[in-house]
Amino acid sequence: MNNQKKSKAYNITLIPGDGIGPEVIQAARSVLEASRIRFNWDVQEAGLRIFKKTGKALPDSVINSIRKNKIVFKGPTITPTIKNYRSINVALRNKFDTYAGIRPCKIYPGVQTRYQNINLVIIRENLEDLYAGIEFGEGEKDTEELINFISKKQFIRSDSGISLKIISRFESERIINFAFKYAKENSHHKITIVHKANILKHSDGLFLEIAQKIAHHHPEIEFENQLIDSLTAQLVQNPEKYDLLVRPNLYGDILSDLCAGLVGGLGMCPGVNLGDKYAIFEPVHGAAPQYQGLNKVNPVAAILSGVMMLRYLGELKAADKIEKAVAQVIKEGKFVTCDIKKDSAVGTKEMAKAIVNKL
């Protein structure tokens, strides 16, 4: 998967992010550097913090750095309810065509959870669906024209706001082909396509139709499809029966949080947004500004995102060594944050240091 030639040190764009982002990214950085893999970190600011200083949440310097380095290690950023403030994550995915969101959800012995033996991966289409951001506000001229057009087929109230759900054949084929390729390369034996095609016949229906056609070319991979509402119940009752879940953008976002809850919480789940030329590695969790500066939050999601980055770079031994160290620290339970073990909990820095000591 690596698009960057191996050298003495890897050039990585590093975005600390907002809220707890700088803390978990610094913790992950200390672990990555302890693996003896060398990095040239190109530190760039993006998000609400730099927006308050400059009026621009995604400066040109960030874009130029990513174009140069191709690989990003990123902390969470805040998306406030400010008009015309676009999500940094959504903007980066569209700018660099990172169409595949990959979010592993795995139980490490020692975490607080009601389940056992969960090891599933969510693959999320990143660029379309309601996240395309095509919206029409209540009372706007374009909205009125759209309502007049739609009302010819079905009544719609004149005081409506409208968001368009976009599912294209091109993006659906791209993400589903990616999922089957990923399954083969990573020893997954079953793919579940998630949809609501019984109601959304021309959007989710298209997604499902394409998935069924592509699945015929991969008989060695078990294939099933499941309605999103039914799947939520099944994931709570029988999560062990799932392997690789593929879904449109919005379902992917919501269900990745549900699956994180199954394996101990958002602090345990890493992620990457991947395209053909660029890769953006970041924890699944948000910026949680209420915990900023408290040295309290779990750094594992950020550290495991770094492990995913090492595997992308081809540094498999270092990646396996770090993941093993993370698993040992969690299992021992002596130097873990309060979401993993409430009694004898330590801080973000202390847990990262314990993982470094294991290395």
Average pLDDT value for residue range 324-349:
93
pLDDT higher than 80, residue 81: no
Average pLDDT value for residue range 112-132:
93
Measured distance CA(224)–CA(152) in Å, rounded: 37
pLDDT higher than 90, residue 133: no
Structure confidence at residue 256 (pLDDT): 93
Average pLDDT value for residue range 100-116:
95
- How sure is the predictor about 146, in pLDDT bands with cuts at 50, 70 and 90? confident
- How sure is the predictor about 2, in pLDDT bands with cuts at 50, 70 and 90? low
- How sure is the predictor about 80, in pLDDT bands with cuts at 50, 70 and 90? confident
Higher-confidence position of 67 and 342 = 67
- Residue-wise pLDDT for 151-165, tens only, equals 877 788 888 898 999
Average pLDDT value for residue range 199-217:
97
Domains of the chain: 1-85+288-359 (3.40.718.10), 135-164 (no CATH)
pLDDT higher than 90, residue 148: no
Average pLDDT value for residue range 17-42:
97
Whole-number Cα distances in Å, 221 to 183, 193, 204, 321: 8, 13, 22, 30
- How sure is the predictor about 276, in pLDDT bands with cuts at 50, 70 and 90? very high
Average pLDDT value for residue range 69-88:
88
Angle made by CA atoms 175, 267, 196, in degrees to the nearest 5: 35
Q: What is the mean pLDDT of the chain?
A: 93
Please report, rounded to a whole number, the percentage of residues in the chain having pLDDT higher than 90: 81
What are 98's two structure tokens? 């990172």
Beta strand 39-43 with 190-195: parallel, antiparallel or unpaired? unpaired
Average pLDDT value for residue range 183-210:
96
- How sure is the predictor about 186, in pLDDT bands with cuts at 50, 70 and 90? very high
Write down the residue that tokens 């982002």 correspond to.
Answer: 21
Helix %, strand %, coil % of the chain (to 5): 45, 15, 40
N- to C-terminal Cα separation, the chain: 26
Structure confidence at residue 79 (pLDDT): 85
279 forms beta bridges with: 71, 274
How many helices, marked H, and strands, marked E, lie in the chain?
12, 12
Measured distance CA(335)–CA(331) in Å, rounded: 10
- Residue-wise pLDDT for 279-295, tens only, equals 999 999 999 999 999 99
Average pLDDT value for residue range 250-255:
93
Average pLDDT value for residue range 291-316:
97
- Residue-wise pLDDT for 217-231, tens only, equals 999 999 999 999 999
Closest CA to 65 of 221, 234, 280: 280
Structure confidence at residue 86 (pLDDT): 79
**338 C-beta neighbours (distance < 10 Å), count:** 15
pLDDT higher than 80, residue 6: no
